[in-house]
Structure 1
Amino acid sequence: MTAPAPSSATPAVGDALPGLTVSITRAQLVRYAGASGDFNPIHWNSRTAVAVGLPDVIAHGMLTMAQAGRIVTDWVGDPTRVVSFEVRFTRPVVVPDDDTGARLDLTAVVGAVDTGAGTARIDITAKFDGQTVLGKARAVVRLS
């Protein structure tokens, strides 16, 4: 069952949020590096990434996290309703040097509802190439 928008009804544990697929491209990595100040060459230079044991250039962890958070902010409609958001980085997102980029598939379910506090915990799954790239990814949102 799809979770109702948090302003319309109280969601139930197990309700699924609408899925989301995003692409992370090399151009986004360059823009993110400029915005964040993180110019580590593993995020833009294939030679450096491979030299340190990576398969190729990888996305910034915080960019991957932000993209994953979109499934929650799209659902709540107001990002100020996100009380907390946490993840553990488990695998890198390898970004190819093409126009398509890396496909990040996002799903989420309501993991818990606290009616007394007026909050819900959203459990997020982020997959790249069929493998989970974020562990214990979850957000707590205000329901109204």
Structure 2
Amino acid sequence: MIVGETHGLAAPRITRSTLALYAGASGDHNPVHIDTDACRAVGIPDVFAHGMLSMAYLGRLLTDWVPQERIRAYDVRFTAITPVNDTPVCTGTVTRIQGDCAHLDLKVALPDGTVTLTGSAVIALG
């Protein structure tokens, strides 16, 4: 790894089926992720993706880049929602090398430029 190196992952389009399957797998059946009528009842126009689903896609970016056992830290902050039918893109950039670890900045963004997650990771180099 070198400073400035960037990797990306285009997540699949977030469909209603994706949200239903993720709800079943995660046990997170919050109506804002699966029930349009419940969303509208509280002023939200439609369902949106679970934040942890986007975090999982960032995790996939990391494990596609390096073996899982080299990941020393992984943190995110949720900054915006991911609407149904959007296609998030995950990116990670090496920002510094310190000792035997690389420090990465992470983000998930939508095609319109909205950043839905920001984060960081620390990766062992060897």
TM-score (norm. length: structure 1): 0.78
TM-superposed deviation, 1:12? 2.0
Q: Deviations over 1:28-61 (max 9, x none)?
A: 2112111211111111111112322323101111
User: Which residue of structure 1 lines up, in the alignment, with residue 27 of structure 2?
Assistant: 37
- The residue number in structure 2 matching 1:98 is none
Amino acid at match of 1:133: T
2:35 is equivalent to residue 51 of structure 1: no
Partner residue, 1:85: 74
Query: Aligned to 2:88, what secondary structure does the other structure show?
Result: strand
- What's the counterpart of residue 60 of structure 2? 70
Shift of 1:85: 0.9
* AA partner of residue 108 (structure 1): G
Give the CA deviation at 1:86. 0.8
TM-score normalised per structure 2? 0.89
**What are the ranges of 5 or more consecutive residues in structure 1 without an aligned counterpart?**
1-10, 96-100
In the other structure, the counterpart of 2:122 is 140
Per the alignment, do residues 21 and 54 of structure 1 end up closer, same or farther by CA in structure 2, a change over 3 Å counting?
same
- Structure 1 residues 30 and 72, CA gap change in structure 2 (3 angstroms): same
Cross-structure match for 2:97: 113
Count of residue correspondences: 124
Structure 1 contact 104–127 (Cα < 8 Å) conserved: yes
Runs of 4+ deviating beyond 3 Å: none
Letter in 2 for 1:87: V
Q: Structure 2 CA distance, aligned partners of 1:52 and 1:139?
A: 35
In structure 2, C-alpha distance between the alignment counterparts of 1:122 and 1:27, rounded to whole Å? 32
**SS of the residue aligned with 1:108?**
strand
RMSD (Å), alpha carbons: 1.5
| 8 A contact 1:20–1:71 mirrored in 2 | yes
Aligned identity (percent) is: 44
Structure 2: gaps of 5 or more residues: none
